[in-house]
Structure 1
Amino acid sequence: MVAQSFEEFIKQLEIDNLDDIHKRFKRITKRLNEAYWDSDSDQEHGYIVGSLGRQTAIKGISDMDMLFVLPKEIKQQYDQHEGNGQSKLLQAVKAEIKKTYPKTIVRGDGQVVVVSFESINYTIEVCPAFYRSDGAFDYPDSNNGGSWKKTDPLPEIDESLKTTEETNNNYRYLCNIIRAWKNHIGFKFGGLLIDTLVYQFLDEYEDHKNATFENYLQVIKDLFYFLKTRNKDQKYWFALGSNQKVYNKKGTFVTKATSAYNKIKDLTEDSENLYDTLQELFGETFPVPDTVSEAKIEKSAFSAFTARQTEEFIERKFPVDIRYSLRIDCEVKQHGFRTHLLRNMFKDHIPLLPNKSLRFFIVENEFDEMASRSEERISYDVYWKVLNRGDEAIRRDCIRGQIVRDRGRHEKIESTNFKGEHYVECYIVHNGTVVARDRIIVPISTNQL
């Protein structure tokens, strides 16, 4: 049964708007060809790169990376500009794209021109580039006074497509699954780093290159083991195909993979909690066979208490494409007692008791930091979810779990009422897509009121 679930899950992750993405790519390519090459081609000089180019992206992806190659004379022209020539080049490309999309938000953003299609919750990041003699590209970086940087995405695309073919699609499937895991758990894990590590995994575990879905439970166990045993302090890896450096700032994926492996390592297809664990790792959309769902319903019918199923899921409200880091914490207060931060209480093994006032707030919001550096105002929304777990939550019919929009203060006020491992989750939604999320567990340790 689990083989069929993995196969259905892979189908769920397939991108469903590729035609629209390619249509917009062609329109931008044609506009820039007219402006810089005196051509009406909608394909020449343009490249879809990034995870879409490598064909490892999944449904819900919020942007497309594209390169557009300009004549070498243009680089010479902007090299002779006084001041920041790279910034002026980005502004010139921006002005040309605005001729095709006059009502669309188009802005320069350090190294690319960002075209935001709010009606479809999608952006295209256009990187103007110049051919190099070694086959790679130079592109403008307008930060810190301006400079030229090197990128080499085409060998990465070639190696990704070749490996997908050589592994009977297993390479692409595993890249897809790790993206789904990253989006559900909610942490920053760059697409090129994911693809590079999966590539290295299959190089080390050669037997999995020809795996079938019947083997996928073991394959996923081995993949999480591979990820958890990487060096958390390693600053970079060499990308597949190009050997470009792919940087890893915090090694968060190692910690998350360790947790995932510990949850799944001992499970078999006969484990009672197999599908609960797979949904915990990959989201509630991971398919559960009807026979398993029916058994759970029958079991709950014999329980002493029932509760309304009020929980909502962010994946059913917005596409999820986690690209930024988010961290929340909780201030724990009670009259007459010293205030604590919940994460510090975890470290110090201080129990969380009832009758406490809780203020959940954002500690770190990388998206907000990025937006503040932009030349134009970038807006976003904050949403919160509070879910109660445990027998007492069921007995009181107080599971909650509704997703609510923040009212502008970027905080959530709650209180500790009854025993259970509850949790609070926060989401950053930009242009209709969840781009960052974080969760904090709230373990109330006693039922005394």
Structure 2
Amino acid sequence: MLKESFETFVTELEVDNEEDMMSRYKRILKKLNGEFWGEESEEEHGYIVGSLGRRTAIKGISDMDMLFVLPTELKAQYDGYEENGQSTLLQDVKKVIKKIYPRTVVRGDGQVVVVTMNGAKCEIEVCPVFERTDGAFDYPDTNNGGRWRKTDPLPELAASEVMTDESSGHFIYICRMVRAWKNNKGFKLGGLLIDTLVHNFLNDDKYAKYKDSSFESYLDLYKDLFSYLKNMNKEQSYWLALGSRQHVYNKDGAFVAKAKKAYGKLKDLTEESEELYDNLRSVFGNKFPLPEAENATQAYRESIEISSARKTEEFIDEKFDGVDIKYNLKIDCDVEVKGFTRKSLRSMLSKFERLQPRKQLTFMIKENEFEELALRTKDPDYNFRVYWKVLNRGSEAIRRNQIRGQIFPDAGMGRRQERTSFRGGHIVECYVVHNNVVVAKDRIKVPIESSEITA
């Protein structure tokens, strides 16, 4: 039944390395407390914030956000430096952490100290803060000579906890499934904004009934949630975060168009729809579970395909440690039209043009936000790798035994040469991988007339 699929899915989305991360968090906190407070406590003066703190993170998360509260009297010391006391503070915290992790990459990152934990498959971002009289915190920003900025995450944790109780846990489940959708479709949407939008949705009078939701009503719930998101103003630059009412920003509003497509996939579905599970997997990813009967039908369909074509497709969530989309990546393709004349494939698609066989294609990265960050900070630890995937679809691909779909590394130029060969709705995907976690992803469809793509 569908309700079991939803229930199984949210369970399988749970973070699977939290215990390991927690042990490292406690070790860092104990060392910092010893250095700055003179007491070796694994509990005092520290908070886990962000998605992990709000309990809305999912498997594959690539960072833990940690606040470490310093003695208030030390703030005057760092204010007393002639230049950028904030930078000095980060360096002091970094030196302490290096004492317990001498061979681990520890770097200052503008506002936090980042500890790369390869064994735990994550990064712990340590943000040293000073408590303010209003209960919020001042944290260091080393940019432009240094200054203090305000952060107020504790009301966000409290608001998340209240909504979790009011919805019998479904607030957390919904937030996790929205993250799965975001990672599957490969677009940037911050965790705090996700939780804020879901919180606002459940507090909207029109949709407040879903606070008393159950897995039986999840299909209707996600129809309404995507309808709610698709009707937002994509030009809106910020929202007021749950609990804290701090500004939480979104640069491009891409989630609005993505929600419109998701809504289109779900709006006409019922539990009896033939395309029910195909469409749910299209929205939330191939990890969305099939019931036994559907799984048997799917296995039969695949066995028919395998009989005439090798099943060669690879999947990023199986090849790498996790998928946690946090950066924008945009790819395009130059299509050879006549000789040296070239057209943008995305431009052609916008005009509903299809490709003809025997055309030279050059896929390229047009925007890589992670690379821009690496160049801007000049930090060698912002290393990354680029991978490509070319997947051929359709009966012709099966007949020719050329499904492809393997994930292979970029040759170093951010480009991929292919050639159109035969009819089908083919796909090219590109991934940016940092610390063996996919942090950016984009795809482009390649519709070929009359006769997949060949290397």
Question: TM class by shorter-chain length?
Answer: over 0.9
Take 1:358 and 1:443, find their aligned partners in 2: how far apart are those partners?
Answer: 12
| Counterpart position of 2:188 | 188
| Counterpart position of 1:405 | 409
Selected match of 2:209 from 203, 207, 211: 207
Q: Is the 8 A contact 1:331 1:339 kept in 2?
A: yes
Task: Provide the TM-score with structure 2 as the length reference.
Answer: 0.96
Work out whether 1:433 is the aligned partner of 2:411.
no
Task: Provide the TM-score with structure 1 as the length reference.
Answer: 0.97
Take 1:376 and 1:296, find their aligned partners in 2: how far apart are those partners?
Answer: 47
Take 1:349 and 1:163, find their aligned partners in 2: how far apart are those partners?
Answer: 44
Q: Matched residues, percent identical?
A: 57
Selected match of 1:228 from 207, 227, 230: 230
| Counterpart position of 1:345 | 348
- 1:138-180 Cα shifts (integer Å, max 9, x gaps): 0000111111100000000011011101101110000000001
Take 1:232 and 1:210, find their aligned partners in 2: how far apart are those partners?
Answer: 29
- 1:235-290 Cα shifts (integer Å, max 9, x gaps): 11101111111111100110110111011110111111111111111111110112
| Counterpart position of 1:98 | 98
In structure 2, relative to structure 1, the CA distance for the partners of 1:303 and 1:60 (3 Å cut) is closer
Selected match of 1:381 from 365, 372, 385: 385
Take 2:414 and 2:306, find their aligned partners in 1: how far apart are those partners?
Answer: 39
Q: Is the 8 A contact 2:184 2:284 kept in 1?
A: yes
In structure 2, relative to structure 1, the CA distance for the partners of 1:124 and 1:75 (3 Å cut) is same
Take 2:447 and 2:338, find their aligned partners in 1: how far apart are those partners?
Answer: 20
| Counterpart position of 2:149 | 149
Take 2:414 and 2:115, find their aligned partners in 1: how far apart are those partners?
Answer: 28
Take 1:64 and 1:434, find their aligned partners in 2: how far apart are those partners?
Answer: 16
Take 2:412 and 2:335, find their aligned partners in 1: how far apart are those partners?
Answer: 21
Deviation at 1:115, TM superposition (A): 0.4
In structure 2, relative to structure 1, the CA distance for the partners of 1:146 and 1:368 (3 Å cut) is same
SS at match of 2:422: coil
Q: Is the 8 A contact 2:305 2:398 kept in 1?
A: no
Equivalent AA in structure 1 for residue 107 of structure 2 = R
| Counterpart position of 2:174 | 174
Selected match of 1:321 from 295, 307, 324: 324
| Counterpart position of 1:371 | 374
Q: Is the 8 A contact 1:68 1:128 kept in 2?
A: yes
Take 2:290 and 2:336, find their aligned partners in 1: how far apart are those partners?
Answer: 41
| Counterpart position of 2:291 | 289
Take 2:168 and 2:406, find their aligned partners in 1: how far apart are those partners?
Answer: 41
| Counterpart position of 2:244 | 242
Q: Is the 8 A contact 2:431 2:440 kept in 1?
A: yes
Selected match of 1:277 from 257, 276, 279: 279
| Counterpart position of 2:450 | 446
SS at match of 1:425: strand
RMSD (Å) for aligned C-alpha atoms: 1.8
In structure 2, relative to structure 1, the CA distance for the partners of 1:328 and 1:289 (3 Å cut) is same
Equivalent AA in structure 2 for residue 54 of structure 1 = R
Q: Is the 8 A contact 1:390 1:421 kept in 2?
A: yes
| Counterpart position of 2:108 | 108
SS at match of 1:268: coil
Q: Is the 8 A contact 1:188 1:324 kept in 2?
A: yes
Take 1:249 and 1:170, find their aligned partners in 2: how far apart are those partners?
Answer: 28
Take 2:57 and 2:239, find their aligned partners in 1: how far apart are those partners?
Answer: 20
Q: Within 5 A, what are the aligned runs for 1:5-154?
A: 5-154=5-154
- 1:77-116 Cα shifts (integer Å, max 9, x gaps): 1111111111111111111111111110000001000000
Consecutive unaligned residues of structure 2, counting only runs of 5 or more, are none
Work out whether 1:254 is the aligned partner of 2:256.
yes
Q: How many residues align?
A: 449
Q: Is the 8 A contact 1:108 1:375 kept in 2?
A: no
In structure 2, relative to structure 1, the CA distance for the partners of 1:432 and 1:337 (3 Å cut) is closer
